[in-house]
Amino acid sequence: MGHADPVGLDAEPLWMTRAKRPAGATSLAITEFAAPPVPPVWIQLLNVWQGFPAALRGAVASVALVTGLSLLIWAAAGQAITARLEQRAAIELQEDFRQGLRGWMGAPGWIESWRRQPAGYVEVSQLALWRPTRKLSDYQLEFLAQLTGKTLGWVFRAGDLENYYSMRLTVLKPGPLPTVALVRSVVVGGREQEKVQVPLRVRIQQSAPVRVRVLVRGDGFTTWIGDQLADYWRNDRFRQGAIGFYAEGGDRAQLFWVKVTHQDDFLGKLCAYLAPSRREENGL
């Protein structure tokens, strides 16, 4: 005898009933959204810029303005500025003769009269000028040399081989501690003029090197032998020219090194860094 199923035993489980999709129901639509457009780079940079504090923006703008004006001025007057920097730039020239005598010049036969020794020094004889110093006006000349004969001579502001200021150490009385005088003169057209002999208070040994320093500034010339002030004199005939060395009458003197400097301070070194000097005309 059949009975009604009070609990719906023959019915589908509730979870299956809920899982069934009602007839005529529609499926959910899947909608894709496009990404928002990316603003141009300049707008992004502008937004970043506006996010900076006002004080920082003002400082950066000031630096940019100064830099821009500097570049504009440099473009308009670059050659004049460069020339001024070169004029104030430090000068430092050194010679130790490791590269031979290619930086020197003289009359025919001068190079045969000089002798380069294996120890690294040269024996000077006939006058020779140092090419890189031909266009210089004011400078300090330093060198280390040794009297091996009767004379040791040097020149400065030499326009050529016949016009220059000349100085030399001359042995008046030979010996282990010779009597030496400093002789200075002006050579014009190959002829020596205004010759003056200055006695030296410093002792120079015949077999020991001596350090000489000459400051050439304007029309005044100061000379130190060793660390002692030896002479000061003035002359305005020559305004620029090279340095050089010689020994008289076929004599010889040993020359170990030479150094020429000018404006060798912080400002001079900075100018030399900003505008390296062009000295092609000086021969190096």
Which of 22-36, 141-155, 188-202, 256-270 shows the lowest mean pLDDT across its residues? Answer: 22-36
181 and 152 belong to one structural domain: yes
Any domain includes 151: yes
Domain finish residue from 29, 64, 85: 85
Reported confidence tier of residue 42, pLDDT bands at 50, 70, 90: low
Q: Which tens digit of pLDDT belongs to each residue from 239-274?
A: 999 999 999 877 889 999 999 998 766 665 576 566
Question: How many independent structural domains does the chain possess?
Answer: 2
Any domain includes 24: no
Q: Which tens digit of pLDDT belongs to each residue from 135-181?
A: 999 999 999 999 888 999 999 999 999 999 999 999 998 887 888 99
Any domain includes 148: yes
Instruction: Assess whether pLDDT exceeds 80 at residue 119.
Output: yes
User: 59: helix, coil or strand?
Assistant: helix
Any domain includes 9: no
Nearest to 132 by CA among 161, 97, 94, 165: 94
- The predicted structure's pLDDT at residue 250: 79
119 and 74 belong to one structural domain: no
Sign of CA dihedral 228, 233, 234, 235: negative
Any domain includes 29: no
Q: Name the strand (E) or helix (H) holding 27.
A: none
58 and 123 belong to one structural domain: no
Instruction: Assess whether pLDDT exceeds 50 at residue 19.
Output: no
Reported confidence tier of residue 220, pLDDT bands at 50, 70, 90: very high
Note if the pTM is more than 0.75: no
Range of the domain at 63: 41-85
Any domain includes 184: yes
Distance CA(91)–CA(278), nearest Å, equals 11
